[in-house]
Amino acid sequence: MIVLSVNAGSSSLKFQAFDMPEETVLISGVFERIGMKESFYTIKLNGEKIKKEVELKNHERAMELVMEELIDNKIVESLDEIKAIGHRIAQGGPYFDKTEEMTDENIKKVKELSVLAPLHNPAAVKGIKAAMEVVPNALQTGAFDTAFHQTIEEENYMYPVPYEWCEKYKVRKYGFHGTSHKYVSSRMNEILGRYNTKLITCHIGNGASVSAIKEGICVNTSMGLTPNSGLMMGSRCGDMDATVITYMMQQLDCTAEEMDTILNKQSGLLGISGISSDSRDIEDGIKIGNQRCNLAQKMFTNRIIDHIAKYYVELGGCDAIVFTAGIGENSIHTRREILDGLAVLGVKIDEEANDCRGIERLITTEDSSIPCYIIPTNEELMIARDTYALYQQKENKKELEANEII
């Protein structure tokens, strides 16, 4: 059965078509510059990449082209074969703790939560509506970046601010990258061969977060109300003294919106190095003795080590630490610095094993107190799995109802 995973951004749309339950990727693609000049899309099929320059007026046009590609490349003969489409949604707020069918009522909730994710949730709604328009008979589901973190207890998700802020304005920790933390933690449990585990998962990409997971359930995570909290990131500041914000707004005489842009787009590795938000550029800078790149990298890894140590205590130990996402999977240097920083806990890096990129692997020695692994993330597959499971549930229910009537 064909299931699509869709990730719509404000001017982009990524998709992957899976054959389920085999989990084979049949075709994938990215549409860029939707609603802008010089729009184009790239399709990946049979190991080949094809770029096509076309006008992409809106998300619906992009979705129509997804369907044309599926038919032209003989992935399906008719659109009726596409039974379910799973959409990635950033903010599910307090409403969604798992992947859900996108009914009218649920779409309304996603829209309502746009105040908390103004760039992401409206784009996801566009993607869902476009898919509904183009494939009206398919089940549409929403997989939320926040859902996996809904198990976090109140004392960990509340901020020490006036209580009404949470009640009236929904101010609390929600966490993000949930689909990725869920995927790598369940894979980690598979590797360990047991589920009564305490895991610390580090999703370190341009955006970065660490989660503490006990027996498959998330007990804490570093991102908060928005993805700009916890760790230092490519261009986001993460945690710091909240008064820096009001103090600097006065000094720079800037608006809340301008400050938000600085803290999200001009801070982090970029802000400190003054060069780049990309960890590869920071590593190159370090190699030629750039002191600010050195400082940026130290600040970056220190914060990851701090969070791992905090969650180690919070979990009362740890059975495995997982590294994933762009930097976690690929930066030998960053992983080494983190593992060296954890030596006090008895963590011992296996230098030879760590000398790799983008593959699933144990990177600590046999006598390391905590085994540490690289597990490449696969959020699209997780979305497809959840969507397939929901589809199966609905079909089973239909069958039961039909049998009762008979």
The contact set with ligand AMP (CB under 6 A) reads 205-207, 234, 278-280, 325-327, 330-331, 357
Please say whether the beta carbons of 40 and 51 come within 8 A. Answer: yes
The pairing of strands 320-324 and 372-374 is parallel
C-alpha 405 chain-centroid distance: 43
The least distance separating ligand AMP from the CB of residue 203, rounded to whole angstroms, comes to 8
**Which one, 86 or 326, has the nearer CB to ligand AMP?**
326
Spell out the alpha helix ranges (H) of 230-367: 243-252, 256-265, 268-273, 279-287, 291-315, 325-330, 332-341, 351-354
Measured from the CB atom, the residue of 202 and 213 that comes closer to ligand AMP is: 202
Q: Least distance in Å: CB of 332 to ligand AMP?
A: 7
Residues in the chain: 406
Pairing of strands 100-101, 139-144: antiparallel
CB 50 within 8 A of CB 42: yes
**CB of residue 163 to ligand AMP, shortest distance in Å:** 35
Torsion of CA 107, 110, 114, 117, to 10 degrees: -140
Compare residues 106 and 279 and give the one whose CB is closer to ligand AMP.
279
Closer to ligand AMP by Cβ: residue 205 or 230: 205
Cβ nearer to ligand AMP, comparing 150 with 226: 226
Backbone angles phi, psi at 208, to 5 degrees: -145, 140
Question: Residues with catalytic annotation?
Answer: 145
Burial tier of 254 (Cβ tally within 10 Å: 0-12, 13-18, 19+): middle
User: How many angstroms separate the CA atoms of 144 and 234, rounded?
Assistant: 23
Compute the least distance from the CB of residue 184 to ligand AMP, in Å: 12
Rounded Cα gap, residues 191 and 373, in angstroms:
10
For the bound state, the minimum distance from the C-beta of residue 49 to ligand AMP, rounded and expressed in Å, comes to 17
Cis ω before 371 (30° cut-off from 0): no
- State residue 116 phi and psi, 5-degree precision: -90, -15
CB of 13 to ligand AMP, least distance (A): 17
User: Which residue number, 280 or 397, has a Cβ lying nearer to ligand AMP?
Assistant: 280
CB closer to ligand AMP, 125 vs 383: 383
- Helix extents (H) in 113-236: 121-134, 154-157, 164-169, 178-192
What type of residue is 67? M
Convert 200-233 to b/e letters by CB count within 10 Å (16 or more is b).
Answer: bbbbbbbbbbbbbbbeeebbbbbbbbbbbbbbbb
- Structure tokens of 111? 């829209």
Report whether 179 contacts 149 (CB < 8 A). Answer: no
Nearest residue to 202 (alpha-carbon basis) of 106, 305, 58: 305
Shorter beta-carbon distance to ligand AMP: residue 315 or 338 = 338
- Minimum distance from CB of 140 to ligand AMP (Å)? 26
Cβ-closest position to ligand AMP: 326
